[in-house]
Structure 1
Amino acid sequence: MGNRVTIPTLSAGIVLAGLLWSAPATAAPPETLAAPDISLANVQAHLNQLQSIATNNGGNRAHGRPGYQASIDFIRSRLNDAGYTTSVQSFTSNGATGFNLIADWPGGDTSNILMSGGHLDSVSAGPGINDNGSGSSGLLEVALTVARTNFQPQRHLRFGWWGAEELGLVGSTFYVNNLPAAERSRIRGYLNFDMIGSPNPGYFVYSSSGQPTGSINLQRALEAHFATIGVPTELTNVGGRSDHAAFARAGIPTGGLFTGAEVTKTAAQAQKWGGSSGVAFDRCYHRSCDTMANINTTALDRNADAIANAIWSLAAGSTTPPGPRFENPTDVPIPDLSTVESPITVSGVAGNAPAALAVGVDIRHTFRGDLVVDVLAPDGTAYNIHNRIGGSADNLTGTFTINAASEVANGTWRLRVRDAGPQDIGTINTWSLQF
């Protein structure tokens, strides 16, 4: 991952995968929507190979160095053997030749491409096993699992491994900028995986806020696996720090996963995810110690499965269209040591609410550790989504999910906010329900 510092923003909870595009006329068989489990042992084997390549080539896999060329050769050989159509694109940066590796899985609608990628280069200081051997290896194993299971999605699948990311997103930018306009328009979504095995991990999903239209659907697809295993996520604004940026600038919807770099884990995050507060998510970021010993295998396993889940669901399509969205944008002041409510009236939705009802919340407050936030169903049942965590941080913004399958959808839902501590005040800025 590149050097620009970014601060993760809070989004406690997760939502189900949405559609990337409208449902096709002929839906994929339901069984194709379930992604297979991705073998952690296989991902680790790919990482071991990248470590060996670095060890045998001066300790790194950096742009213009022999270790990078060997990394490209290794990944390409595995993909060719699995039946992919591969190509290597060359470019020049800092007086050296760099390479992008592109792999297409045969079949699917080539006017409707779902692309996934991550950078393959390391910094010159070390082997780059977490940054970004982890994303590269997870993506490789997902691509090989596509071939192993003979997955035949309705959308065309394309994978990319980028060069010279560490020099300023050079490879991915070169790829996007050199696509003819017609080819660029066929890429309907891009998923980016950069650092998915940090040793003191967080579980971050790229925020769709400020990204091209349609990015919210990628965000939800990436959040979905974590919802099923009960692991909360936070949204992060990665900005121009990784390879999705070139695609976003071209108007292509983007999403991605990240387990953290040099920023330190907060006490609230350690309480939520485990690990050590006050310590960087990756203490070996851009250092020689970014080796096989710098990987958290639980995070690597969870993220590899999340990658597969998103690719399978987005590429295979779904017969279920997204449900309606209801919002209350009216500001509701939250006085000190008080309880306030904001209503949303839902109508026209048949049957019960979904098992993963998405609750979007934007609460502006000077001390979110004071807040207790519940969603009240029409029958008065309370679903807690925030209970005085977050320490001295301000504001509570993001998307939560609640299992509301036992609740009738139509009726008046309420967001109840209790300020349980002294001295701080705020406002319910807006909130929403996505059925």
Structure 2
Amino acid sequence: MKKFSIVIAGGGSTFTPGIVLMLLDNLDRLPIRQIKFYDNLAERQDHIADACRIIINEKAPEINFVSTTNPKEAFTDVDFVMAHIRVGLYAMREKDEKIPMKHGVVGQETCGPGGIAYGMRSIGGVLELIDYMERYSPDAWMLNYSNPAAIVAEATRKLRPHSKIINICDMPVGIEERMAQSIGLKSRKEMVVRYYGLNHFGWWTDIRDLEGNDLMPQIKKHVSQHGYSLLEEVEASQHVDASWMDTFAKAKDLYAVDPETLPNTYLKYYLYPQDAMEHEDPDYTRANQVMDGREKHVFGECDKIVERGTSEGMTLEIDEHASYIVDLARAIAYNTHERMLLIVENKGAVANFDETAMVEVPCIVGVNGPEPLVQGEIPRFQKGMMEQQVAVEKLVVEAWAENSYQKLWQALTLSKTVPNARVAKELLDDLLEANQEFWPELH
């Protein structure tokens, strides 16, 4: 049986150990002969890699492990590139959140002005990874979950149209797990869903069990009362802290706007931006929580593992959500025709919507990648919101490609979270100042 070679691009990420543990936990489903880490920040990656080398040696000593900052070494002889990079690290995420809040606008890493700023940083980084992969392992596939996925997906569609990249997001997976638990199912894999939207911007229209019975009425009943909060929050996972609890509860209000469908939680930033702002401390945002929480914890644990020379007793956790990536890699490698929610070029999947929009819809995945399933026509409310948002995403990518200040101003003006063009321009000037070292030069 073929064993696969994987490079994790973003080896210094706090999510990398969880992904490694998840890959090791799934070797019966996806056999691996080699895991490589690639990052452009050696010191940060070394902390994570030195610990992961010990973990891999203990759990699967037959796997060859390489950690490098050399693109040729990283991208040669690989089957899959699993990419999760954060250009500018959490220090820039903090600015993405705090600068909009100074202007009375919601500060969030993938939505609104923060997402636009992050997108302008991410595009170049992701294109660089694609180019390395195509140069050194032209038959490989890139499974990309670098954020903001919607803008990155539009950039790859427009600027690398023939690349073998699949853009994915685990947020719908997390919400579907909650739906399943809320009605007593063991796993989201017991559900078959229909869904349409853009990344972080979508709606479920039909959910059935494997026998074809309609589960929507039960799930809607739960969401109308509790949102996606579970009656007892059983496990403390990465998504269960105060701000996530608030997000899951808020789904109740999102659902009320259109009780025909079930909403993605990120819609709260577009439908209720003022409410989202109320819960935020402008001096201590989500980025600060992550830097003081997960980042310290993961780096501290990795250093302990290296110090002790063993992973015994470690508190690093398997990233369960990331098992979605194994499903995707398996579907391509073994032509399993698994049904998965992915971000793909529309081309008629949503009949009454822009053909070139990058939409998030169910796809059947096989050796040739994803084949989108037609979701039909969508209602005016969702279509109107999606058209506004897809225009924002396309303008951001055009601004990046054309070095256009004007188009970025237009993108910010169109964003549903920004009140008017004057605020958009003030925001742009502040974000431009903060991102000088990362954005292309705009004029």
TM over 0.5: no
Q: Could you say which structure has the higher strand fraction?
A: 1
Q: Give the alignment's TM-score, normalised by structure 2.
A: 0.30
Q: Could you say which structure has the higher helix fraction?
A: 2
Higher relative contact order (CA 8 A, sep 6+): 1
Q: Give the alignment's TM-score, normalised by structure 1.
A: 0.30
Q: Larger C-alpha radius of gyration, 1 or 2?
A: 1
